[in-house]
Amino acid sequence: MWRNKTVAVIFPALSEISSIREAILDFDSTGFIDEIIVVDNDLPEDTLNKIVGTRARIIKEKRHGFGLSIQTGIKATGADLIIIAEATGAFAGKDVTKLLAYSDDFETVFGSRTHVPLIKSGSGMNFLRRVVDVLYGKLVSLLFLCGPLTDLGCTLKITSRMGWRKVAGECRAKSALFTTEWILLAAKNKVRFCQIPVNFKSGVGGSLWSENFLSQVARAIVIFFYIFRVWFSKRLGRRL
């Protein structure tokens, strides 16, 4: 609990993740988490067995997709504040205190993986990827006249109920693009948000966003056009 507000953390789990137990215990050890939800998106039995003995509650989502898993997790909790994380171990539980502190003043707080002192070896956040993330963040800040952004793909975030309600009706992305979509919709719908630096390390099996070079280029192109899609919908006064 944080300042009389209940806190939940949601772990979308899409495949075999050997680190899932460690990630759950790491976030739970902060002492602020009231509820832990693992969204089972067709997890193998071995992974599910690793959750046994933790406080995590397993919610089944038969439809495949990162965005779908997160929305299912949000619907399953009644907590006042909702943290989205990864079960890969790519993020540090200790950053929960940062998110909570900023949540006092903002409806949604997004994490950023591009701050060099917090990028750990093996995370995959290389120079080129960091430059693209920062440039895209600046583009969004300019187009939507919102606060500074340096990363459109960080999974780690916290939202209040009000912050989520302002974007939920327009969320369309079922894949990992959902992470970028959320930020764009927050900017479009004037959610009171900020972005803060978080630790980013090498997760077991990599981050949910770990890809080879060509895949990253393809994703960067998709995100570029998606930014303008959301911006045009704002200019035209339409829902996404």
Per-residue model confidence as pLDDT tens digits over 157-182: 999 999 999 999 999 999 989 999 99
Q: Provide the pLDDT for residue 209.
A: 46
Sorted by where each starts, the structural domains of the chain and their CATH numbers stand as 7-235 (3.90.550.10)
Q: Note the pLDDT of residue 97.
A: 98
Stretch 89-105: mean pLDDT: 97
For residue 27, the surrounding DSSP H or E stretch is helix 20-28
Paired tokens of 55: 């406080």
pLDDT category at 16 given cuts 50, 70, 90 is low
H/E element holding 10?
strand 7-13
Q: Measured at the alpha carbon of residue 219, what is the angle toward residues 68 and 98, in degrees to the nearest 5?
A: 65
Q: What is the pLDDT of residue 18?
A: 80
| Per-residue pLDDT at 45 | 86
Output the pLDDT for position 238: 85
Locus of tokens 């205190």: 97
- Render pLDDT for 116-149 as a digit per residue (tens, 0 to 9): 999 998 888 888 889 999 999 999 999 999 999 9
Average pLDDT estimate for 66-89: 95
CA distance 179 to 139: 17
Cα(74)–Cα(52) distance, integer angstroms? 22
CB proximity list for 90: less than 8 A, separation 6 or greater = 123, 155, 200, 201, 202, 203, 206, 207, 208
| 181-240: pLDDT as tens digits | 999 999 999 999 999 999 999 876 444 444 566 777 888 899 999 999 999 999 988 888
Query: Who's near 187: CB < 8 A, 6+ residues apart?
Result: 140, 141, 144, 146, 149, 193
- H helices then E strands: how many in the chain? 8, 7
Mean pLDDT, rounded, of the chain: 92
